């Protein structure tokens, strides 16, 4: 099994990951009444706003301290405080997330002190300011997302009486996926606190008048009560403990942590629902059992086509693992799995799953870019790709069709409405994968037949 890892800083050709503060913005978008401000140059916040807006097809507001040359030399404290003033005046948020960039981190800005001084100077006792150190050169948006969630919990959570609620911490999945997870929780009659919840804030209904800060997000009072929950379910089997929100709750408040994969695929969804059954003491409702049966029927329908699939899977670590598991249980062979982030736990998990499935030659790429993904995909003759729209280069340059999944999706509309989790979402995803394999087969089968004739690998009838 091939495992390749490079230093993320050296990746400079079509990166397979984005910077830390972008992921942190997504986390804050899932908190009630929140606003994020980027302490850095204006260009950073502009790039991130556009990147997020093009995926979710929603207006995305992110403030900036607009750090310039003078601030770079003499310090950007005044710029950050002015940016906070303007953000509070315009948006009237309940929570402000202060996120750093490469520039602010390089000059050594102490955002914890600046934020504390600001609140004292302005006398803003009712406003919560959460600081998150997110240098773009540190990690990817995946780590920035989970670190921000951890910092949000650390700032808001309070010791409280124990209750029967279950904390559910989700990774960067689509708003449609979050809504499906909440539907499953309700069907299992679970009392829950889901964080971050951007199912409404990043996929809002059209309404007049326009709201600068959309309704929705996890309520602040609910986050404060997470310390009293009976358990935390964190969809984060690849998340390092240092940035794990669930591990923080377990260490600081004794809330038991259950790390599970994103519930995509039959086995992973079974794990999630059986855990809910264990924690709630409730039986699985008949409707969920019927949805499971429909997924099994979907797997039977598609299995005869999937054996021809040799896939390359790329994106955020948690999503790569969940998709790889789903492919393996449906007869699709992952020949390349890739992430722009550090491999960490992902590498070990994938090695075990791939080895059990007899995929000993599968390539695992960590801290990688699309030039390397293209090279390995070509070498191992992948015929389908699964991941975000950065993989369009695999289609354009290698002829490998792409099933779009994850973040960001910039070259199609509806990325925020793609459903892939649970039994129902898995069936929809599997249909997309299988139909892509079929389309590619029917598009190229004549060419493949002719190539077999003319390269001598297949002799025409009659021995000519």
| pLDDT number for residue 459 | 46
**Predicted local distance difference test score (pLDDT) of residue 454:** 56
Residue 31 sits in the same domain as residue 133: yes
Residues 84 and 202 in one domain: no
Among 319, 164, 171, residue whose Cα is nearest residue 244: 171
Give pLDDT, residue 8.
45
Residue 135 sits in the same domain as residue 176: no
What is d(CA 120, CA 450) in angstroms, rounded to the nearest whole number?
A: 76
For residue 53, what are its two tokens?
A: 């807006």
Domain boundary among 139, 158, 180: 139
Q: Are residues 345 and 446 in the same domain?
A: yes
9: in domain? no
Structure tokens given for 242: 């240092």
Rounded to the nearest 10°, the torsion over CA 343, 344, 345, 349 is 40
Q: What percent of the chain has pLDDT over 90?
A: 82
Distance, CA of 440 to CA of 434 (rounded, Å) = 10
Of 246, 189, 188, 198, the C-alpha closest to 218 is: 198
Q: Do 302 and 259 share a domain, yes or no?
A: no
- Each residue's pLDDT tens digit, 210-233: 899 999 999 999 999 999 999 999
Q: Indicate whether 101 and 177 sit together in one domain.
A: no
The reply to whether 263 and 304 lie within a common domain is: no
Q: How far apart are CA 158 and CA 123, in angstroms?
A: 22
Q: How far apart are CA 309 and CA 380, in angstroms?
A: 12
Does 311 reside within a domain? yes
Contact 97, 24 (CB under 8 A): yes
Q: How many domains does the structure of the chain reveal?
A: 3
Query: Cα separation of 403 and 396, whole Å?
Result: 14
Per residue of the chain (464 residues), give pLDDT as tens: 665 555 444 556 778 889 999 999 999 999 999 999 999 999 999 999 999 999 999 999 999 999 888 888 888 999 999 999 999 999 999 999 999 999 999 999 999 999 999 999 999 888 999 999 999 888 899 999 999 999 999 999 999 999 999 999 999 999 999 999 999 999 999 999 999 999 999 999 998 898 999 999 999 999 999 999 999 999 999 999 999 999 999 999 999 999 999 999 999 999 999 999 999 999 999 999 999 999 999 999 999 999 989 999 999 999 999 999 999 999 999 999 999 988 789 999 999 999 888 887 889 999 999 999 999 999 999 999 999 999 999 999 999 999 999 999 999 999 999 999 999 999 999 999 999 999 988 887 666 655 555 555 554 443 33
78 & 39 share domain: yes
Spatial distance between the Cα atoms of 313 and 356, rounded to a whole number of angstroms: 18
Token pair recorded at residue 376: 């390995």
* Bridge pairing between strands 2-5 and 363-366: parallel
At which of 230, 257, 280 does a domain end?
280
Look at residue 160 and tell me if it is in a domain: no
- Tell whether 274 and 294 lie within a shared domain: no
CATH code for position 303? 3.40.50.1980
- CB-based contact 312:335 (threshold 8 Å): yes
Residue 345 lies in a domain: yes
Domain region containing 294: 287-451
Among positive and negative, which fits the CA dihedral 445, 448, 454, 458?
negative
Output DSSP code: residue 284.
P
| Contact between 44 and 64 (Cβ < 8 Å) | yes
**Alpha-carbon distance 72 to 63, whole Å?**
18
Note whether 263 and 327 are same-domain residues. Answer: no
Please check whether residues 445 and 296 belong to one and the same domain.
Answer: yes
Asked whether residue 148 is domain-assigned, the answer is: no
Q: Write down the pTM of the prediction.
A: 0.93
Residues 352 and 428 in one domain: yes
In-domain check, residue 460: no
CA dist 362 and 350 (Å) reads 10
Q: Record the tokens describing residue 296, joined without a space.
A: 């099994």
Residue 152 belongs to some domain of the structure? no
Does any domain span residue 252?
yes
Domain boundary among 97, 121, 139: 139
């Amino acid at each position: 099994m091939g495992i390749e890892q490079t230093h993320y800083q050296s990746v400079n050709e079509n990166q397979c990951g984005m910077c830390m503060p972008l992921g942190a913005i997504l986390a804050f978008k899932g908190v009630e009444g929140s606003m994020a401000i980027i302490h850095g140059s204006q260009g950073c916040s502009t790039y991130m706003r556009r990147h997020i807006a093009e995926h979710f097809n929603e207006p995305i507001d992110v403030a900036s301290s607009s750090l310039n040359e003078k601030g770079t030399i003499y310090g950007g404290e005044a710029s950050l405080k002015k940016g906070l003033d303007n953000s509070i005046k315009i948006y009237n948020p309940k929570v402000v997330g202060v996120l750093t960039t490469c520039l602010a981190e390089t000059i050594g800005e102490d955002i914890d002190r600046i934020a504390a001084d600001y609140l004292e100077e302005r006398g803003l006792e009712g406003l919560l300011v959460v600081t998150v150190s997110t240098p773009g050169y540190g990690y990817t948006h995946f780590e920035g997302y989970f670190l921000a969630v951890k910092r949000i919990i650390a700032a808001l959570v309070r010791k409280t009486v124990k209750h029967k609620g279950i904390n559910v911490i989700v990774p960067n999945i689509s708003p449609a996926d979050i809504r499906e997870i909440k539907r499953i929780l309700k069907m299992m009659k679970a009392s829950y606190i889901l964080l971050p919840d951007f199912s409404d804030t990043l996929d809002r209904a059209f309404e007049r008048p326009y709201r600068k800060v959309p309704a929705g997000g996890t309520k602040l009072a609910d986050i404060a009560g997470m310390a009293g929950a009976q358990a935390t379910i964190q969809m984060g089997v690849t998340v390092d403990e240092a940035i794990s929100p669930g591990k923080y709750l377990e260490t600081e408040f004794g809330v038991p942590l259950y790390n599970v994969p994103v519930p995509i695929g039959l086995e992973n969804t079974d794990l999630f629902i059986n855990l809910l059954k264990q924690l709630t003491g409730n039986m699985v409702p008949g409707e969920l059992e019927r949805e499971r049966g429909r997924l099994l029927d979907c797997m039977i329908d598609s299995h005869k086509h999937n054996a021809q699939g040799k896939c390359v899977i790329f994106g955020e670590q948690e999503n790569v693992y969940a998709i790889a598991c789903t492919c393996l249980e449906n007869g699709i062979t992952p020949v390349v799995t890739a992430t722009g982030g550090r491999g960490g736990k992902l590498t070990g998990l994938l090695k075990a799953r791939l080895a059990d499935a007899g995929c000993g030659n599968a390539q695992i790429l960590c801290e990688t870019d699309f030039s390397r993904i293209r090279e390995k995909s070509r070498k191992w003759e992948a015929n389908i790709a699964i991941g975000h729209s950065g993989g369009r280069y695999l289609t354009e340059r290698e002829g490998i069709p792409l099933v779009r999944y994850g973040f960001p999706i910039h070259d199609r509309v509806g990325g925020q409405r793609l459903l892939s989790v649970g039994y129902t979402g898995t069936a929809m995803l599997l249909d997309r994968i299988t139909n892509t394999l079929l389309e590619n087969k029917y598009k190229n089968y004549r060419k493949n037949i002719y190539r077999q004739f003319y390269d001598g690998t297949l002799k025409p009838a009659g021995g000519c």
